[in-house]
Structure 1
Amino acid sequence: MLIHADADAFFVSVEVRDDPHLRGRPVVVGPQVVACASYEARALGVHAGMPLRHALRRWPELVVAEFRGETYESVSADLMALFREVTPLVEPGSMEEAFLDVSALDGGSVDEAGRIAADLRRRVRRELGLPVSAGVARAKLFAKLASRRAKPDGLVVVDADTEARVRPRLPVADLWGVGPMTAGKLHDAGIVHVADLCGWTVEALVERRIAKPQAKNLVAIRDGTDDATVKLPGPRKSVSSTISLGRPTRQRSRVRESLQHNVIRALDRLGDDPRPATRVDVHLRFDDGATLVSQGALEEPTRDPATLVGVALAALERTAYEDDGRGIVVAGVALALPA
């Protein structure tokens, strides 16, 4: 049995925890682009990715909280550590969500899994001050759908009978990993619900320009043999750091200084990991929400801060950001690591 645990409106929930005066208010976390919106803000129509200035123009009652990347990363680490106290079989999906395999705990029944999920939610609320929604099911798809249905701050348990009844009626557009383009192709083929996949083979779906891995997944979902395995994360492939610059800027000294700090912070986050960096990527976010990545090649793997800073700054110059016309609101680096 699997639990999908997902901290609700993660960035906003951290801000509300640290500033109770924000509770119940339409809060968004910036900068420049909405990174997260409270449920009160979502009720107004605000959504992640919306330019902040547009949101404020339409809903001046919004409360804007500063984006605190280091705080969110620290809370995420605490959240994952708490998940791993329940079971070592944890597959993170993002910084605030994960699948937990609790099949070996207390007999592995759906009722026991539901009890474990309820206890987990209470612990996260008590120890971290965060609301977590959870879904319990046999396979990842239904655990994820259940946690989505449980939001905000709820628990939904899907037993075998419910899964068998609901599975054929699931809209394919709602399936995990099916984007608008794939959904459109399926609809054109007359496939609107999972039940409509009856009689379709992987090869027939591929002929309708569905990618083969997606076609295999769709057939598995139809047959009830979809993914129920938690995959433990291997060694990290990169380590990163980002800094919010506040107001949009193209000031050379500010952007360069932020990248220098980011390189040092990224190296610090490697901790006891002895691997050297093999590449330096510079990430910029502009005030219109657009992002840009510039890669910096290393002659040989290294952890030398001066070398990594030099490569990062050279990658920055190749972006011609000073002549772009837009302002930079977030600057970051990612250090690629060998396998």
Structure 2
Amino acid sequence: MIPRVTASVDLSALTHNLGVVRRIAPRSRVMAAVKADAYGHGAVPVSRALEAAGVDTLAVACLEEAMALRQARIQAPIALLEGVMSGEEAAQAVYERLQIVVHDHWQIDLLERLPTSARLTLWLKLDSGMHRLGFPLTDVPRLRDVLARHPGWTFAGWMTHLACADEPDNAFTREQIARFEAALSGAPGPRSIANSAGLLAWPQARVDWVRPGLALYGCSPLPEMPALGLGLRPAMRLESRLIAVREYAAGEGVGYGLRYRCPERMRIGVVSVGYADGMHRAFRDGTPVLVRGRRAYLAGRVSMDMITVDLREVADAAVGDPVLLWGEGLPAEQIATWADTLSYELFCGLTQRVRFRYRGAPA
């Protein structure tokens, strides 16, 4: 059976990109973000590859994501970025040797109800200005008192998150870093500030730990710093194929609503991919794809199962030809702009109908 849409994930690209991160931040330990099913790439195979490459810690959003990795026998340290939601979750996190990111005092209350013999590891997250999760910076003295009361707890360190790191000219990032450092003046414990954008664009954010996500998957969060120029390799290649090629006269409409009108007599290709596979309906006419290594362009609205493309620049295109939607030669971060979105959303939006294949490292 020929799959309609295939996502080929090169796990060796992931380990290559981990090496790039380590070269950029050579004095930092690496917490690799594998939340959201490893940004749509497959959390278990991706985590196995990163574990084999010696990543320091993996990061997931919640206990459910961590348990999927433990059930797959992944033994690397795992951090819960949103922490625990109940006493039961806290106990299970301790049992599974998970690192708990604590961002509010009610979570400390949960941990303090555990048996004193519980061997837990925690991070403390501070709000340096993003105003999403984290303790106020003024709570640092109180948090130091909490740690002093619990010498049996293992303290992994302090972390914060940057709101505007993908805007290298935005001074607020510099302000956030300064606030974080000032609040922790004299406080013991490792620090973690940088996500992918932070570690690429802000050298002062490359502290004891960095937390790359998108960069590991071979994309740049910085429009002015393309992934290729940074030495990053795209891990995912999303492909479908042509299932029909037709010729239409000038003025003929194509697709729902006949949004696209043929400017001249031309060939239109039908590609077996649609929004039910994760191809956003918001993609505009002109969105590029690659057919036989050359560019064709979206012509008409994305439908549930199909897209139609302008084949004028691929005169020899034929039914059965593979069609690259994003991957090497067609970066996802560039394609995403045609739907006014980000590569994160493209990756995470792939559906169960897409067939995943892995190569290049243990899966």
What TM-score, normalized to structure 2?
0.27
Structure number with the higher helix fraction is: 1
More contact order relative to length (CA 8 Å, sep ≥ 6): 2
What TM-score, normalized to structure 1?
0.28
